[in-house]
Amino acid sequence: MSSPSESPRTFWKFCWLGCVLVLLAAGYLVFRFRRDAPVTYAGEEDHFKYGSTGGERASGIPLSIWRVLPKIFPQYLPGPADPRQPYAAFGFIYEPGRELPIGVSQRNVQGLDRVFLNCAVCHVGTVRASPEGKRRVIAGMPANGLDLQAFERFLFNCALDENFTGLRIVAQIRRDVPEEDWLNRLALRYVGVGLMRERMLTLRDRFKFQDREPDCGPGRVDTFNPPKVLLNFRMDRLPPREWVGNCDLPSVWNEGKRKGLWLDWDGNNNSLEESDRSAAYGTGATPPTLDRAALKRTEAWLLNKAAPPAFPFGVRPALAAQGETLYAEHCARCHGKSGKDFAGAAVGQVTPIELLKTDRHRLDSYSPELCANQNLLYAAYPSERFQHFRKTFGYANQPLDGLWLRAPYLHNGSVPTLRDLLEPAAARPKFFYRGCDVYDSERVGFVSNVAEEKGRKFFRFDTSLPGNGNFGHEGREFGTELSAAEKDALVEFLKTF
């Protein structure tokens, strides 16, 4: 039996031990919930493909949920899916040895691994020489196979399903992601899944505007109507002229040579830094959550090193030489001397829509009201505040570097090949299929007359729908009145870009 004097000492020992344990637990929780650590990459191109812009901080999807959604909700995938690469069904690109596809970054925030999209999701594509050929991944080209709208609808449909509950999802996580710790599973079951569902349903309601416009399909996106949602525009009150903003995804090579040029399809900004921060905003990185160091690393690669590969299928030198003369006469003033020399009196300037006569839906979707709101972004960050956005009345004349990889053509991707673009609109295809990455080296574009390959259905693009018009860019100054032989020569020279 312990003496009376020993009892108080034992009591205080337990008190001190309890205090130490509480302090250790508190220290761990402080460390855990203050954690903000992105997955980093040594190579600059890998950083572009997989590095964070900061979007995971506020918009990230828990990695464990990302892993199990295709297994729980396979009925909402657009086609058959490889269980090792489930998001390839939407056109996401997987590289050997990588769990996450290109364009998906990972960051541990408050002890929870989260994933979200980065800039590469829209700016890395693939090409094959033949249906049996090896798929080549090319950084900086448009994401020609990605259907981002279909991916968004997958998430919305999952959130609508009665199985989108903490109990159901965490049970799948317990089976498929055993490394997820108990505290995260507890938080996801009782809080996280419900919050995600609520947010997804809110976004679904606010993105209903997409139901009144034609589907984007792979390689295209509505650039500026989603930012209106994020800036709290009343989408149901937009005038009809702003409803359709679908346009082709652009390439992002040689940004250093583009300094001072008017950027984006409509030439609404001539600041590369603002354009990059605006693109990061589209990846969920708001002014407070933007990872500035990571973005600067991406910008340095885009400015100094990102460049298109050479056309790999061979060029006929004599025919290309004939085409060079025709290009200098008809194209160089607006599009530069070559794919490496951007010199030209009107390069990077805006040509009025009345002269181009192309589809104006994308132009009209970018409104003066949105422009004014954009220039208020970063208002709390004086050195970064947007100042260069402007409303224009036409489309910008772009340099043509890597032109062979930028098909389909025109700002809305409505003309499948370069050879088709040199024909009058009446002779261009009225519909074709997008999403195939097999290359047509003669006509310079991707194969567009195949509806399906190995169970994967391609997107039927109808040029009669609003925003999909394939007209314009016609007349002698645009090369559509050249002879067939001259058009062939011009296309041959453009392969060298």
In this predicted model, what pLDDT tens digit does every residue of 306-319 receive, in sequence order? 999 999 999 999 99
82 HSE (CA, 13 A, CB side): 11
User: Cα–chain-centroid distance for residue 69?
Assistant: 21
Confidence of residue 369 (pLDDT cuts 50, 70, 90): very high
Judge contact between 67 and 15, C-beta under 8 A.
no
Structural domain contains residue 332: no
CA distance 69 to 416: 34
Structural domain contains residue 234: no
Report how many domains make up the chain.
1
Tokens of 58: 């506020």
CA distance 474 to 95: 41
Q: Give me the amino acid identity at 168.
A: R
DSSP 316: -
Judge contact between 445 and 429, C-beta under 8 A.
no
- pLDDT of 377 strictly over 60: yes
Structural domain contains residue 377: no
- pLDDT of 292 strictly over 70: yes
Structural domain contains residue 108: yes
For residues 351-369, give the mean pLDDT.
97
Which is more confident, 281 or 23?
A: 281
Judge contact between 244 and 361, C-beta under 8 A.
yes
- pLDDT of 26 strictly over 70: no
Structural domain contains residue 52: yes
Confidence of residue 20 (pLDDT cuts 50, 70, 90): confident
Task: Please tell me the predicted confidence (pLDDT) of residue 472.
Answer: 97
Domain around 88: 26-121+148-215
- pLDDT of 425 strictly over 60: yes
Structural domain contains residue 106: yes
Structural domain contains residue 269: no
- Residue pLDDT, tens place only, 205-249: 999 999 999 999 999 999 999 999 989 999 999 999 999 999 999
Structural domain contains residue 286: no
Task: Please tell me the predicted confidence (pLDDT) of residue 79.
Answer: 83
